[in-house]
Amino acid sequence: MKLCRIGQPGQEKPALVDNDGRLRDLSGVIAEIDGSTLSQAGLARLAGLDPASLPAVSGTPRYGVPVAGSSKFVCIGLNYSEHAAESNLPVPAEPIVFLKAPSAICGPDDDTIVPLNSTKLDWEVELGVVIGEVARNVPLERALDVVAGYCVVNDVSERAFQMQSSQWDKGKGCDSFGPTGPWLVTKDEVQDPQTLGMWLKVNGATMQDGSTRTMIFDVKSIVSYVSRYMTLMPGDIIATGTPSGVGMGKKPDPVWLKPGDVVELGIEGLGQQRQKVVAYR
């Protein structure tokens, strides 16, 4: 299934995308797509519906974040060797874990707001993993059992803020720095999360063109590892790192986003995003 939330900020309602690509209203079946929806039993209930029996959604509504109420937005740094190289940093021996503020999470096509005093605004296309079950010290062989599905994430980053100290959070958690969606694609529709093509363009020029197959730590390893250090709750999101091609790594000079730029990105089977960069407001 492709699950989503549509409507203006704060007024989103649950929906799904049928096999013909049409939006169907789920609000008569469930009140919200959140952690309580994402258990195996909850998803099985939705999978048993006939999409044709649901009201069609007219027009082109705004997509919100596909899952509401995430308690954590966990990120994995330098998880592609070529990205570590372009960042002039060593390949990590184990996953680098940091957190984005949940307040950074926004819809996939919402504007990216340049923070006050920003000078080095950057992009990162990433595979997002959405947790469906409470996960604590999950063994590697069971790690994918706690995953509800996958989504596109843009780990928007302010590099000047990020590199002010060894803690990256300042450059990762600003408002609008977590575009997520458009859909939560349930794991039954993703045969192998390690074979997905991913790309990102700025003003129509391709900046990133990679694949999840080149991750250093794969999805199951990441989920198992993170669950040792924090309890993952249904609806939590893990962004699993980005391939090469970020603005910071461009030669001979870095490329930074500025107001008026348009960022487009996508992952095979998971949909696309589009953000316009706007000045602080």
Are 151 and 272 in contact by the 8 Å Cβ rule? The answer is no
If pLDDT is split at 50, 70 and 90, which confidence band does 226 have? very high
Question: Is the pLDDT at 166 greater than 90, yes or no?
Answer: no
Question: Which pLDDT tens digit goes with each residue over 96-126?
Answer: 999 999 999 999 999 999 999 999 999 999 9
pLDDT of the residue at 126: 98
CATH number listed for the domain at residues 73-278: 3.90.850.10
pLDDT band at 87 (very low <50, low <70, confident <90, very high): confident
Q: Average model confidence (pLDDT) for the chain?
A: 96
- pTM: predicted TM-score of the whole model, two decimal places: 0.96
Domain locations in the chain?
A: 2-53, 73-278
Higher pLDDT, 90 or 193: 193
Residue with tokens 């990441």: 222
As a whole-number percent, the residues of the chain with pLDDT over 90 amount to 93
Answer yes or no: is pLDDT of 244 > 90: yes
